[in-house]
Amino acid sequence: MINKTSLSCFFFSLACQLFYAQTEVKNTVISKNYCTEIGRFDLLIDSDEVAGAYYLIHKNALGGVWGRLKNQVMTGRWHDADGKGDIIITFTDDFNFFTADYRSDDDQDKWYRDSWHGSLRPNASPSFDKKGITYRCE
């Protein structure tokens, strides 16, 4: 014969196991910190969702991007002190480098192609040169 205490303990134990099994979901968010021509660019990638923030040194202001990632191409939006619009960021296979094309909502016919570049920071230096481009990391 099973008493009420044993039955209660069994269900409590089962509930705890289910709770802990559900909370052990693996974190899939990837964080990348790039250096670009305009300053630092921090990016979060969660499956196919991307969000990031960058620092406009010349405006002393933050900007942001968000969008969807398919393979190595993010298609989304940007917004900063200079305006807002569409952006396409193409990453290398290892996500160590990117190039970006963007356009402003104010002039949707004009795309700025291959006009923004980013590279992962190679060392503690606040800037570095690579392939004729000066990358700023701060």
Distance of CA 69 to the CA centre of its chain: 10
Q: What is the pLDDT along the chain (138 residues), one digit of tens a residue?
A: 455 554 444 444 544 555 555 555 667 899 999 999 999 999 999 999 999 999 887 888 999 999 999 999 999 999 999 999 999 999 999 999 999 999 999 999 999 999 999 999 999 999 999 989 999 998
Query: Who's near 99: CB < 8 A, 6+ residues apart?
Result: 89, 90, 114, 116, 117
Q: What is the pLDDT of residue 55?
A: 87
**Residue 23: per-residue pLDDT:** 54
The pLDDT value given to residue 25: 60
Residue 19, pLDDT score: 54
Integer Rg of the chain from CA: 23
